[in-house]
Amino acid sequence: MCKVYSVTSQKGGTAKTTTVFNFGAYLAGKGYRVLLVDTDPQGSLTASLGFGNPDMMDVTVANVMEKEINDENYDRKNYAILHHSEGMDILPGNIELSGLEVSLVNTWSREFVLRRYVDKVRDYYDYIIFDCASNLSLTTINCLVASDRVIVPVHAAYLSLKALEQLIKTVGRVKRGLNTGLDIDGILITMLNGRTNYAKGIIELLDTAYGNNIRVYENKIPYSVRAAEIAAEGVSIFKHDPNGKVASAYTGFAEEVLNYE
């Protein structure tokens, strides 16, 4: 059975895209068939995987969604799909997604466009992972409606906790009204400098506020310059710095997700 995850945060700077990249790379390294979907108009995931300037691409997830909106027949297994050297497929995204938002407003069943696509490609993959935009757009709602579970990266900072509160409410609304099978898999603390009392205090606050109802992953992703470098290299942390602390943390996080299934 294909598992579909949305990795989302309503605040930037949470290593959301880095988490999607490395989670997908870990799964692909274990032999799973993985599709990463870049639904952020900035195209950060697409660029991080080494695919040049996303805004110059002719065919992206925006074109896929247009075809679903128009109920067109097309080769979903191959259309717009790119292949990464570490064994992952990617459905790229770019600025065209911003224009698509206008079309979605007047689309029938506008929240279910990506779900229709996912339902037709599930047989080709073991995991589909959405990299969502850092805002509550119709495309992000589409991702949540198409997903089974949500992973929420959170920077150990006060403003990230405020954004988390709003995101949890949003997921709850989607679950009640559009996707009853949706659940939050867990909260992932990222870019952590665990030596500061401030960060320790934020972690304690997070555990107190949400720990009884939502899983906070035991593995936390430390801040590292080496991790920031992967966006320029086009490879995952497992290729760039396989013996480093970030690779170890992402391995532990991915295993937590798999063990929870």
Could you tell me what percent of the chain has a pLDDT over 70?
A: 98
**Please, is 245 exposed, middle or buried when counting C-beta atoms within 10 Å of its C-beta (0-12, 13-18, 19+)?**
middle
Residue 34, pLDDT score:
98
Confidence of residue 194 (pLDDT cuts 50, 70, 90): low
* Token pair listed for 12: 């930037």
Identify whether the C-beta of residue 193 lies closer than 8 Å to the C-beta of residue 199: yes
Residue 134, pLDDT score:
85
Confidence of residue 158 (pLDDT cuts 50, 70, 90): low
Q: How far apart are CA 35 and CA 38, in angstroms?
A: 10
Could you tell me what percent of the chain has a pLDDT over 90?
A: 70
Residue 213, pLDDT score:
87
Identify whether the C-beta of residue 54 lies closer than 8 Å to the C-beta of residue 39: no
Averaged pLDDT for residues 129-139 = 92
DSSP strands (E only) in 49-148 = 82-83, 88-91, 127-131
Chain-wide mean pLDDT for the chain? Answer: 91
Residue 228, pLDDT score:
72
The two beta strands, 149-155 and 183-190, are parallel
In this predicted model, which residue has the larger pLDDT, 4 or 190?
4
- Other Cβ atoms less than 10 A from the Cβ of 169: the count is 10
**Please, is 83 exposed, middle or buried when counting C-beta atoms within 10 Å of its C-beta (0-12, 13-18, 19+)?**
exposed
Averaged pLDDT for residues 125-141 = 94
Averaged pLDDT for residues 41-63 = 93
Cα separation values, 134 from 9, 98, 99, 214, Å:
5, 13, 17, 21
Can you state the angle between helices 158-177 and 138-146, rounded to 10 degrees? 60
Confidence of residue 243 (pLDDT cuts 50, 70, 90): very high
Q: How far apart are CA 99 and CA 231, in angstroms?
A: 26
Residue 108, pLDDT score:
87
Averaged pLDDT for residues 103-112 = 90
H or E segment and range at residue 220: none
Indicate whether 163 pLDDT > 80. Answer: no
pLDDT tens digits, one per residue of 10-37: 777 788 999 999 999 999 999 999 999 9
Question: Which residues have C-beta within 8 Å of that of residue 133, sequence separation ≥ 6?
Answer: 39, 40, 41, 42, 97, 139, 140
The two beta strands, 88-91 and 183-190, are unpaired
